[in-house]
Amino acid sequence: MKTIRHKFKNVITVRDGIKFRSKKEAVFYDTLKVAQQGGHILFFHRQPKFDLPGGISYSADFQVFYADGSVRYYDVKGFKTKGYIRNKKMVEALYPVIIEER
């Protein structure tokens, strides 16, 4: 199988039949699955979408629902582009969320 590399040197990685944009994102997915099995988190969603002005949308990597009732959003990043920084700020200004980076 041929390895696909992105311009930022990340390697597309497959877990449970799901394609992740990087090994780091796949490892975080594995961590979430273990935490779910342990009861620390109830469930999680991949790629929750936020609509932004101008017909733009932003997708975080994960939305996680914890057993204590809290909900957190995560973006797994190796490199922060200007577009990512701008869109993250817009999401946090328009929606009642904070996007944590891993």
Domain assignment present for 49: yes
Domain assignment present for 2: no
The pLDDT value recorded for residue 11 is 87
End-to-end alpha-carbon separation of the chain, Å? 28
- The structural domain count of the chain equals 1
**Per the structure block, which two tokens stand in for 58?**
């932003």
pLDDT digits (tens, 9 = 90+) for 32-81: 999 999 999 999 999 999 999 999 999 999 999 999 999 999 999 988 99
Domain assignment present for 7: no
- Residue 59 structural domain: 13-101
* Burial (Cβ within 10 Å: 0-12, 13-18, ≥19) of residue 27: middle
Judge whether 39 and 53 are in contact, CB under 8 Å.
no
Q: Is the pTM here over 0.85, yes or no?
A: yes
3-class state of residue 66 by DSSP: strand
Domain assignment present for 53: yes
Domain assignment present for 79: yes
Share of the chain above pLDDT 90, in %: 85
Domain assignment present for 6: no
Domain assignment present for 5: no
